[in-house]
Structure 1
Amino acid sequence: MSFLKSIFSKEKPQRAVKSVSDLRVNDMIVLTDSFALPENLRNQQFQVTSINTYEFEHKNQLEWVLTGPSNIELFLSLEVDDTTELKISLKVEHEDVENLFDLDQFSTVFNEPGHAELVFQSDTPKTQGWTDNHYRQHVFAKVGYFHRKDHRSESLSKYEGNGAGEQFELYTLYNEHQSHGVDIEVWNDGDTDVFLILYRPLTDIVDMYPGS
Protein backbone atom coordinates (compact mmCIF):
# COMPACT_ATOMS: atom_id res chain seq x y z
CA MET A 1 0.00 0.00 0.00
CA SER A 2 2.78 2.42 0.89
CA PHE A 3 4.45 1.63 -2.46
CA LEU A 4 1.28 2.62 -4.37
CA LYS A 5 0.95 5.80 -2.36
CA SER A 6 4.52 6.77 -3.24
CA ILE A 7 3.79 6.31 -6.96
CA PHE A 8 0.63 8.41 -6.92
CA SER A 9 2.21 11.10 -4.80
CA LYS A 10 4.69 11.75 -7.62
CA GLU A 11 1.98 12.43 -10.20
CA LYS A 12 1.79 16.08 -11.16
CA PRO A 13 -1.53 17.75 -10.35
CA GLN A 14 -3.50 18.76 -13.43
CA ARG A 15 -2.96 22.38 -14.41
CA ALA A 16 -5.95 24.63 -13.76
CA VAL A 17 -7.13 27.17 -16.34
CA LYS A 18 -8.90 29.83 -14.29
CA SER A 19 -8.67 32.84 -16.60
CA VAL A 20 -7.95 33.72 -20.22
CA SER A 21 -4.45 34.75 -19.18
CA ASP A 22 -3.76 31.12 -18.21
CA LEU A 23 -4.46 29.74 -21.70
CA ARG A 24 -1.71 27.79 -23.44
CA VAL A 25 -1.49 25.90 -26.74
CA ASN A 26 -3.98 22.98 -26.91
CA ASP A 27 -6.20 24.39 -24.15
CA MET A 28 -9.94 24.55 -24.80
CA ILE A 29 -12.60 27.23 -24.30
CA VAL A 30 -16.38 27.07 -24.60
CA LEU A 31 -18.41 30.14 -25.55
CA THR A 32 -21.84 31.11 -24.27
CA ASP A 33 -25.01 30.41 -26.22
CA SER A 34 -26.00 34.10 -26.07
CA PHE A 35 -27.75 35.55 -29.13
CA ALA A 36 -25.36 38.50 -28.83
CA LEU A 37 -22.73 36.29 -30.50
CA PRO A 38 -22.73 35.32 -34.19
CA GLU A 39 -24.57 32.06 -34.73
CA ASN A 40 -21.41 30.12 -35.62
CA LEU A 41 -19.85 30.97 -32.23
CA ARG A 42 -22.75 30.21 -29.89
CA ASN A 43 -22.16 27.33 -27.48
CA GLN A 44 -19.13 26.26 -29.51
CA GLN A 45 -15.82 24.83 -28.35
CA PHE A 46 -12.49 26.21 -29.58
CA GLN A 47 -8.91 25.02 -29.16
CA VAL A 48 -5.84 27.24 -28.80
CA THR A 49 -3.61 26.29 -31.74
CA SER A 50 -0.90 28.94 -31.36
CA ILE A 51 -0.03 32.06 -29.39
CA ASN A 52 1.41 35.30 -30.81
CA THR A 53 2.49 38.64 -29.38
CA TYR A 54 1.77 42.12 -30.66
CA GLU A 55 4.46 44.52 -29.48
CA PHE A 56 3.65 48.24 -29.25
CA GLU A 57 5.60 51.12 -27.75
CA HIS A 58 4.01 50.90 -24.33
CA LYS A 59 2.61 47.37 -24.13
CA ASN A 60 2.74 43.79 -25.34
CA GLN A 61 -0.55 42.11 -26.21
CA LEU A 62 -1.02 38.35 -26.40
CA GLU A 63 -3.11 36.83 -29.16
CA TRP A 64 -4.52 33.32 -28.84
CA VAL A 65 -5.31 31.70 -32.20
CA LEU A 66 -8.44 29.57 -31.86
CA THR A 67 -9.75 26.84 -34.15
CA GLY A 68 -13.32 25.63 -33.90
CA PRO A 69 -16.11 23.86 -35.78
CA SER A 70 -15.73 23.66 -39.57
CA ASN A 71 -12.13 24.89 -39.12
CA ILE A 72 -13.26 28.44 -38.34
CA GLU A 73 -10.26 30.44 -37.10
CA LEU A 74 -10.58 33.24 -34.56
CA PHE A 75 -8.07 35.50 -32.84
CA LEU A 76 -8.60 36.22 -29.14
CA SER A 77 -6.96 38.89 -27.01
CA LEU A 78 -7.77 40.91 -23.89
CA GLU A 79 -8.70 44.56 -24.24
CA VAL A 80 -7.76 46.27 -20.97
CA ASP A 81 -9.09 49.76 -20.24
CA ASP A 82 -11.38 50.76 -17.36
CA THR A 83 -12.61 47.18 -17.58
CA THR A 84 -11.21 44.06 -19.25
CA GLU A 85 -13.06 42.65 -22.26
CA LEU A 86 -12.60 39.86 -24.75
CA LYS A 87 -11.50 41.04 -28.17
CA ILE A 88 -12.59 38.40 -30.68
CA SER A 89 -11.33 38.91 -34.24
CA LEU A 90 -12.32 37.35 -37.55
CA LYS A 91 -10.05 37.82 -40.57
CA VAL A 92 -11.96 38.70 -43.75
CA GLU A 93 -10.86 38.55 -47.38
CA HIS A 94 -10.87 41.24 -50.06
CA GLU A 95 -14.17 40.03 -51.52
CA ASP A 96 -15.76 40.33 -48.06
CA VAL A 97 -14.51 43.89 -47.71
CA GLU A 98 -16.01 44.75 -51.11
CA ASN A 99 -19.42 43.69 -49.79
CA LEU A 100 -19.04 45.26 -46.37
CA PHE A 101 -17.94 48.75 -47.41
CA ASP A 102 -17.61 51.07 -50.36
CA LEU A 103 -13.96 50.67 -51.38
CA ASP A 104 -13.46 54.37 -52.13
CA GLN A 105 -14.70 55.15 -48.64
CA PHE A 106 -12.57 52.36 -47.20
CA SER A 107 -9.43 53.87 -48.78
CA THR A 108 -9.91 57.08 -46.73
CA VAL A 109 -8.87 55.12 -43.62
CA PHE A 110 -5.27 55.54 -44.82
CA ASN A 111 -5.51 59.32 -45.30
CA GLU A 112 -4.24 61.77 -42.69
CA PRO A 113 -5.35 62.93 -40.18
CA GLY A 114 -7.13 59.59 -39.70
CA HIS A 115 -10.75 60.65 -39.18
CA ALA A 116 -12.39 58.28 -41.64
CA GLU A 117 -15.92 56.95 -41.28
CA LEU A 118 -17.24 53.74 -42.77
CA VAL A 119 -20.89 53.01 -43.53
CA PHE A 120 -21.82 49.33 -43.63
CA GLN A 121 -23.27 48.06 -46.92
CA SER A 122 -24.03 44.32 -46.73
CA ASP A 123 -22.84 41.10 -45.13
CA THR A 124 -21.44 37.98 -46.69
CA PRO A 125 -22.33 34.59 -45.14
CA LYS A 126 -19.00 34.71 -43.33
CA THR A 127 -19.59 38.09 -41.68
CA GLN A 128 -23.18 37.79 -40.47
CA GLY A 129 -23.40 38.79 -36.82
CA TRP A 130 -19.99 40.50 -36.88
CA THR A 131 -20.95 43.94 -38.21
CA ASP A 132 -22.64 47.21 -37.27
CA ASN A 133 -24.01 50.08 -39.33
CA HIS A 134 -21.37 52.76 -38.84
CA TYR A 135 -17.72 52.98 -37.79
CA ARG A 136 -15.49 55.92 -36.89
CA GLN A 137 -11.67 55.83 -36.98
CA HIS A 138 -9.74 56.04 -33.70
CA VAL A 139 -6.25 54.73 -34.57
CA PHE A 140 -4.11 55.89 -37.49
CA ALA A 141 -0.84 54.26 -38.59
CA LYS A 142 0.16 52.97 -35.14
CA VAL A 143 3.47 51.13 -35.50
CA GLY A 144 3.73 47.66 -34.00
CA TYR A 145 5.73 44.45 -34.30
CA PHE A 146 4.23 40.99 -34.65
CA HIS A 147 6.00 38.03 -33.03
CA ARG A 148 5.08 34.39 -33.52
CA LYS A 149 5.89 33.66 -29.89
CA ASP A 150 4.40 33.84 -26.40
CA HIS A 151 6.16 36.67 -24.58
CA ARG A 152 5.28 35.08 -21.23
CA SER A 153 7.81 32.32 -21.90
CA GLU A 154 10.00 33.69 -24.70
CA SER A 155 11.83 37.01 -24.67
CA LEU A 156 11.16 39.52 -27.43
CA SER A 157 14.20 40.93 -29.18
CA LYS A 158 15.06 44.54 -28.31
CA TYR A 159 17.05 44.95 -31.51
CA GLU A 160 16.23 45.52 -35.14
CA GLY A 161 16.87 42.74 -37.63
CA ASN A 162 16.57 39.03 -37.03
CA GLY A 163 14.11 38.19 -34.28
CA ALA A 164 12.75 41.72 -33.94
CA GLY A 165 9.30 40.77 -35.24
CA GLU A 166 7.41 41.80 -38.36
CA GLN A 167 6.69 45.53 -38.48
CA PHE A 168 3.20 46.75 -39.42
CA GLU A 169 0.92 49.78 -39.15
CA LEU A 170 -2.42 49.47 -37.37
CA TYR A 171 -5.61 51.33 -38.29
CA THR A 172 -8.67 50.86 -36.06
CA LEU A 173 -12.31 51.92 -36.26
CA TYR A 174 -15.12 51.43 -33.72
CA ASN A 175 -18.89 51.63 -33.82
CA GLU A 176 -20.68 54.13 -31.57
CA HIS A 177 -20.71 51.91 -28.48
CA GLN A 178 -17.31 50.33 -29.14
CA SER A 179 -18.90 46.88 -29.16
CA HIS A 180 -17.77 46.26 -32.75
CA GLY A 181 -14.65 47.29 -34.60
CA VAL A 182 -12.47 46.96 -37.66
CA ASP A 183 -8.70 46.42 -37.43
CA ILE A 184 -6.53 46.90 -40.51
CA GLU A 185 -2.89 45.78 -40.46
CA VAL A 186 -0.61 47.04 -43.24
CA TRP A 187 2.71 45.21 -43.52
CA ASN A 188 6.03 46.43 -44.90
CA ASP A 189 5.58 44.46 -48.13
CA GLY A 190 2.22 46.13 -48.75
CA ASP A 191 0.05 43.19 -47.72
CA THR A 192 -3.07 44.29 -45.88
CA ASP A 193 -5.08 42.19 -43.40
CA VAL A 194 -8.60 43.21 -42.35
CA PHE A 195 -10.35 41.92 -39.22
CA LEU A 196 -13.87 42.35 -37.90
CA ILE A 197 -13.87 42.72 -34.12
CA LEU A 198 -16.34 41.90 -31.36
CA TYR A 199 -15.75 43.27 -27.86
CA ARG A 200 -17.48 41.00 -25.37
CA PRO A 201 -17.57 40.48 -21.58
CA LEU A 202 -15.27 37.88 -20.04
CA THR A 203 -18.36 35.89 -19.03
CA ASP A 204 -18.92 34.94 -22.70
CA ILE A 205 -16.35 32.20 -22.03
CA VAL A 206 -18.35 29.75 -19.93
CA ASP A 207 -15.69 27.06 -19.57
CA MET A 208 -11.93 26.61 -19.98
CA TYR A 209 -9.82 23.53 -19.45
CA PRO A 210 -6.31 22.31 -20.24
CA GLY A 211 -5.67 20.41 -23.43
CA SER A 212 -3.82 17.13 -23.74
Structure 2
Amino acid sequence: MKKTGIELKAIHKSFGKISILRGINFVAAAGTTTVITGNSGEGKTTLLSIMGLLQKPASGSILIDEKDVAGTGIAELSKIRAARFGYLFQTPRLVGSLTALENTLVCTAFSGISNMREKAAALLDSLGMSKHLDYKPEQLSIGQMRRVALARALIMKPAILLADEPTNDLDSEVSQIVTSSLFKAGENGAAVVIVTHDRSLAAKTECEYNLAGGILHQIR
Protein backbone atom coordinates (compact mmCIF):
# COMPACT_ATOMS: atom_id res chain seq x y z
CA MET A 1 0.00 0.00 0.00
CA LYS A 2 1.30 3.43 -0.91
CA LYS A 3 2.00 5.89 1.88
CA THR A 4 -0.67 8.52 2.37
CA GLY A 5 0.53 11.98 1.38
CA ILE A 6 -2.62 13.86 2.42
CA GLU A 7 -6.03 12.86 3.72
CA LEU A 8 -9.16 14.86 4.49
CA LYS A 9 -11.82 13.61 6.88
CA ALA A 10 -15.32 15.07 7.26
CA ILE A 11 -14.34 18.52 5.96
CA HIS A 12 -17.09 21.16 6.15
CA LYS A 13 -16.92 24.72 4.86
CA SER A 14 -19.60 27.41 4.58
CA PHE A 15 -19.70 31.02 3.42
CA GLY A 16 -22.44 32.70 5.39
CA LYS A 17 -25.48 30.44 5.21
CA ILE A 18 -24.25 28.71 2.06
CA SER A 19 -22.69 25.30 2.65
CA ILE A 20 -19.88 24.78 0.11
CA LEU A 21 -18.30 21.55 1.33
CA ARG A 22 -20.30 18.95 3.22
CA GLY A 23 -18.39 16.18 4.93
CA ILE A 24 -15.58 15.81 2.40
CA ASN A 25 -13.45 12.67 2.63
CA PHE A 26 -10.40 12.43 0.37
CA VAL A 27 -7.09 10.61 0.10
CA ALA A 28 -4.08 11.28 -2.15
CA ALA A 29 -1.24 8.82 -1.73
CA ALA A 30 2.41 9.67 -2.11
CA GLY A 31 3.61 8.86 -5.61
CA THR A 32 0.20 9.18 -7.25
CA THR A 33 -1.62 11.77 -9.33
CA THR A 34 -5.25 12.49 -8.40
CA VAL A 35 -7.75 14.75 -10.15
CA ILE A 36 -10.80 16.60 -8.82
CA THR A 37 -13.41 17.52 -11.41
CA GLY A 38 -16.76 19.29 -11.24
CA ASN A 39 -18.71 22.19 -12.63
CA SER A 40 -17.62 25.79 -12.07
CA GLY A 41 -18.77 27.22 -8.74
CA GLU A 42 -18.89 23.88 -6.95
CA GLY A 43 -16.03 24.75 -4.57
CA LYS A 44 -13.08 22.90 -6.12
CA THR A 45 -10.65 25.77 -5.58
CA THR A 46 -11.88 26.21 -2.01
CA LEU A 47 -11.30 22.52 -1.39
CA LEU A 48 -7.80 22.74 -2.84
CA SER A 49 -7.05 25.79 -0.66
CA ILE A 50 -8.15 23.89 2.45
CA MET A 51 -6.09 20.91 1.38
CA GLY A 52 -3.09 23.21 0.95
CA LEU A 53 -3.55 24.77 4.41
CA LEU A 54 -4.34 28.15 2.86
CA GLN A 55 -7.88 28.19 4.28
CA LYS A 56 -9.25 26.63 7.44
CA PRO A 57 -12.27 24.33 7.30
CA ALA A 58 -15.24 24.91 9.60
CA SER A 59 -14.67 21.40 10.90
CA GLY A 60 -12.91 18.19 10.00
CA SER A 61 -9.38 16.79 9.90
CA ILE A 62 -6.45 17.35 7.53
CA LEU A 63 -3.86 14.60 7.84
CA ILE A 64 -0.37 15.05 6.47
CA ASP A 65 1.33 11.65 6.59
CA GLU A 66 -1.31 10.59 9.15
CA LYS A 67 -0.82 13.60 11.48
CA ASP A 68 -3.83 15.90 11.89
CA VAL A 69 -2.80 19.51 11.29
CA ALA A 70 -6.28 21.10 11.02
CA GLY A 71 -6.01 22.77 14.42
CA THR A 72 -2.40 23.87 14.06
CA GLY A 73 -1.47 27.51 14.67
CA ILE A 74 -0.63 30.00 11.91
CA ALA A 75 3.14 29.96 12.45
CA GLU A 76 3.36 26.18 12.40
CA LEU A 77 1.12 25.96 9.34
CA SER A 78 3.49 28.30 7.52
CA LYS A 79 6.37 25.96 8.31
CA ILE A 80 4.42 22.95 7.07
CA ARG A 81 3.48 24.72 3.84
CA ALA A 82 7.10 25.73 3.20
CA ALA A 83 8.44 22.25 3.96
CA ARG A 84 5.80 20.02 2.38
CA PHE A 85 3.78 21.83 -0.29
CA GLY A 86 4.16 23.11 -3.82
CA TYR A 87 1.38 25.22 -5.34
CA LEU A 88 0.52 25.89 -8.97
CA PHE A 89 -2.31 28.41 -8.99
CA GLN A 90 -4.53 29.13 -12.00
CA THR A 91 -3.19 32.70 -11.89
CA PRO A 92 0.64 32.54 -11.82
CA ARG A 93 0.95 35.09 -8.97
CA LEU A 94 4.48 36.11 -9.85
CA VAL A 95 6.20 39.05 -8.16
CA GLY A 96 6.23 41.84 -10.73
CA SER A 97 9.55 43.34 -9.64
CA LEU A 98 11.44 40.02 -9.86
CA THR A 99 12.86 38.16 -12.85
CA ALA A 100 11.79 34.66 -13.86
CA LEU A 101 14.82 33.23 -12.07
CA GLU A 102 14.19 35.28 -8.95
CA ASN A 103 10.51 34.31 -8.91
CA THR A 104 11.51 30.66 -9.06
CA LEU A 105 13.72 31.19 -6.02
CA VAL A 106 11.13 33.03 -3.90
CA CYS A 107 10.06 30.04 -1.79
CA THR A 108 13.65 28.98 -1.14
CA ALA A 109 14.12 32.13 0.94
CA PHE A 110 11.84 30.63 3.60
CA SER A 111 13.63 27.27 3.61
CA GLY A 112 17.02 28.43 4.84
CA ILE A 113 18.63 26.67 1.86
CA SER A 114 21.08 28.81 -0.10
CA ASN A 115 22.93 28.50 -3.42
CA MET A 116 19.85 27.37 -5.36
CA ARG A 117 20.31 29.65 -8.38
CA GLU A 118 22.00 26.97 -10.49
CA LYS A 119 19.24 24.47 -9.69
CA ALA A 120 16.56 27.07 -10.47
CA ALA A 121 18.20 27.92 -13.80
CA ALA A 122 18.41 24.23 -14.72
CA LEU A 123 14.76 23.71 -13.83
CA LEU A 124 13.67 26.67 -15.95
CA ASP A 125 15.83 25.36 -18.79
CA SER A 126 14.02 21.98 -18.59
CA LEU A 127 10.74 23.88 -19.02
CA GLY A 128 11.99 25.72 -22.10
CA MET A 129 12.66 29.00 -20.31
CA SER A 130 16.46 29.26 -20.57
CA LYS A 131 16.27 32.42 -22.72
CA HIS A 132 13.95 34.20 -20.31
CA LEU A 133 15.73 33.94 -16.95
CA ASP A 134 16.11 37.73 -16.68
CA TYR A 135 12.63 38.58 -17.95
CA LYS A 136 10.08 40.11 -15.60
CA PRO A 137 6.43 38.96 -15.63
CA GLU A 138 5.26 41.86 -17.80
CA GLN A 139 7.60 40.63 -20.53
CA LEU A 140 6.28 37.06 -20.46
CA SER A 141 3.30 35.36 -22.08
CA ILE A 142 0.74 33.48 -19.95
CA GLY A 143 2.37 30.20 -20.92
CA GLN A 144 5.81 31.46 -19.92
CA MET A 145 4.50 32.81 -16.61
CA ARG A 146 2.79 29.47 -15.90
CA ARG A 147 6.10 27.68 -16.47
CA VAL A 148 7.88 30.03 -14.07
CA ALA A 149 5.14 29.37 -11.51
CA LEU A 150 5.59 25.63 -12.09
CA ALA A 151 9.33 25.91 -11.56
CA ARG A 152 8.66 27.78 -8.31
CA ALA A 153 6.29 24.99 -7.22
CA LEU A 154 8.78 22.25 -8.05
CA ILE A 155 12.09 23.66 -6.89
CA MET A 156 11.86 22.36 -3.32
CA LYS A 157 10.69 18.91 -4.50
CA PRO A 158 7.46 19.12 -2.48
CA ALA A 159 5.87 16.04 -0.96
CA ILE A 160 2.45 17.41 -1.91
CA LEU A 161 1.91 19.30 -5.17
CA LEU A 162 -1.41 21.07 -5.74
CA ALA A 163 -2.38 22.41 -9.17
CA ASP A 164 -5.49 24.47 -9.97
CA GLU A 165 -6.45 24.38 -13.69
CA PRO A 166 -2.78 23.99 -14.71
CA THR A 167 -3.48 23.75 -18.46
CA ASN A 168 -6.11 26.49 -18.70
CA ASP A 169 -5.40 29.07 -21.45
CA LEU A 170 -2.29 27.21 -22.67
CA ASP A 171 -1.48 26.04 -26.17
CA SER A 172 -0.93 22.31 -26.73
CA GLU A 173 2.87 22.51 -26.56
CA VAL A 174 3.03 24.34 -23.24
CA SER A 175 0.15 22.27 -21.88
CA GLN A 176 2.18 19.13 -22.59
CA ILE A 177 5.24 20.56 -20.81
CA VAL A 178 3.19 21.41 -17.72
CA THR A 179 1.34 18.08 -17.73
CA SER A 180 4.53 16.06 -18.10
CA SER A 181 6.14 17.91 -15.21
CA LEU A 182 3.19 17.24 -12.91
CA PHE A 183 3.17 13.52 -13.67
CA LYS A 184 6.94 13.33 -13.29
CA ALA A 185 6.58 14.83 -9.80
CA GLY A 186 4.14 12.02 -8.99
CA GLU A 187 6.52 9.41 -10.36
CA ASN A 188 9.23 10.89 -8.12
CA GLY A 189 7.11 10.39 -5.00
CA ALA A 190 4.91 13.46 -4.61
CA ALA A 191 1.20 13.30 -3.92
CA VAL A 192 -0.07 15.35 -6.87
CA VAL A 193 -3.62 16.75 -6.75
CA ILE A 194 -5.03 18.53 -9.79
CA VAL A 195 -8.27 20.49 -10.16
CA THR A 196 -9.24 20.72 -13.83
CA HIS A 197 -11.94 20.88 -16.48
CA ASP A 198 -9.48 19.37 -18.97
CA ARG A 199 -10.82 15.87 -19.63
CA SER A 200 -7.72 14.76 -21.52
CA LEU A 201 -5.61 15.62 -18.47
CA ALA A 202 -8.08 14.08 -16.02
CA ALA A 203 -8.12 10.81 -17.94
CA LYS A 204 -4.37 10.34 -17.44
CA THR A 205 -4.53 10.43 -13.63
CA GLU A 206 -4.65 7.38 -11.38
CA CYS A 207 -7.61 8.51 -9.26
CA GLU A 208 -10.55 10.79 -9.99
CA TYR A 209 -13.01 12.52 -7.68
CA ASN A 210 -15.99 14.65 -8.67
CA LEU A 211 -17.34 17.50 -6.53
CA ALA A 212 -21.04 18.29 -6.85
CA GLY A 213 -23.47 19.82 -4.38
CA GLY A 214 -20.80 20.01 -1.70
CA ILE A 215 -20.23 16.24 -1.83
CA LEU A 216 -17.07 14.60 -3.15
CA HIS A 217 -17.53 11.28 -4.95
CA GLN A 218 -14.67 8.98 -5.95
CA ILE A 219 -15.15 7.89 -9.56
CA ARG A 220 -12.08 5.69 -9.91
With the length of structure 1 as denominator, give the TM-score of the two structures. 0.25
Q: Which has the higher strand share?
A: 1
1 or 2 for the larger relative contact order (CA 8 Å, sep ≥6)?
2
Q: Which has the higher helix share?
A: 2
With the length of structure 2 as denominator, give the TM-score of the two structures. 0.25
